[in-house]
Amino acid sequence: MATSVLVTGATGNQGGSVVEHLLESDTDFDVFGLTRDASGDRAQELADQGVTMVEGDLNDNASLKPHVADVDAVFSVTNFWTVGYETQVQQGKNIAEVASEAGVDQFVFSGVGSHEKDTGVPHFDSAEEIDQHAQDLDLPMTVLQPVFFFQNLEAFAEDIVEDGQLALPLEDGVALQMIDVDDVGHAATVAFENPDTFVGEHVELAGDELTLAETAETLSDVTGVDVEPVHVPIEDAYDSFGEEFTVMCEWFNEVGYSADIDALEAQFGFEFTDLETYLREHGWEDKEGMASVPGWVKAMQ
């Protein structure tokens, strides 16, 4: 079992969740957090919690090598939404190559739900490129594939709370699987605690599955606002939501994720968060205003 873990994206949402759960684990992990600026506020907060913050750049293999050489395992996440397709793929390949050269005991990669399928969604395809490259390196790898994040709803908070509308380019009756970012960190930690079980596994992660109408009903119950589901036609969505998000929703309408939530809970040994629980735990009963950046950008960090 790995006892020291380097977490990329440690100051972001996914990496931060992994750090939190590693620190809470009954296993005595030494947690290292990769950041470009160890003097930043969030990096300092993590250092105060016992994380060894180290500086490195996913674009520069030489900056990664000494830190990867010091650990048993690596958690890898990269962000399509902030760096774009080509850079994300290269960053993912870089950390995988460095981990392979160092001979780490376990490499946990966080991709995207169903990224191995021919979806035509660019940020799914970029995750698959990274995954395939890591497999070619014969890394002792665990691949976690989270679906649509609950945190994405933060981007629509103003419309939901002030206007009483949840508008998405999802067809009537289409069920969308969703997950709390925190559960990704929990799942990654379980994988690090049980490498014999999880090395070699690809696991799609989800905590709930709801139609747009069911999501709006849950939002209504939690916020006290009468939230109406609005099914935005795909042809109208490109201008409002952008091409990447709209193409993803087209795939949701036509195919969609396929995680087995009950089986996941048995496999990982904990109950994944449902939407109502997430909303109540994240202040949606008193929600005001809109997130400063799109929720799907924040969630992928």
Exposed/middle/buried for residue 115 (C-beta within 10 Å: 0-12, 13-18, 19+) = buried
CB 181 within 8 A of CB 149: yes
Torsion, Cα of 138, 185, 43, 300 (10° steps): 80
Beta bridge partners of 165: 228
Spacing of C-alpha 92 from chain mean position:
14
Residues (pLDDT < 70) of the chain are: 1-2, 288-301
Q: Which of 296, 14, 12 is nearest to 155 (CA)?
A: 296
Domains and CATH numbers, the chain: 4-147+181-206+258-272 (3.40.50.720)
pLDDT on residue 291: 41
Q: Phi then psi for 73, rounded to 5 degrees?
A: -150, 160
- Entry pTM: 0.93
pLDDT on residue 300: 39
pLDDT on residue 288: 64
pLDDT digits (tens, 9 = 90+) for 36-62: 999 999 999 999 999 999 999 999 999
pLDDT on residue 83: 86
**Radius of gyration of the CA atoms of the chain, in A:** 19
Q: d(Cα 301, Cα 203) in Å, to the nearest integer?
A: 20
DSSP 4-52: EEEETTTTSHHHHHHHHHHHHSSS--EEEEEES-TTSHHHHHHHHTT-E
pLDDT digits (tens, 9 = 90+) for 229-238: 999 999 999 9
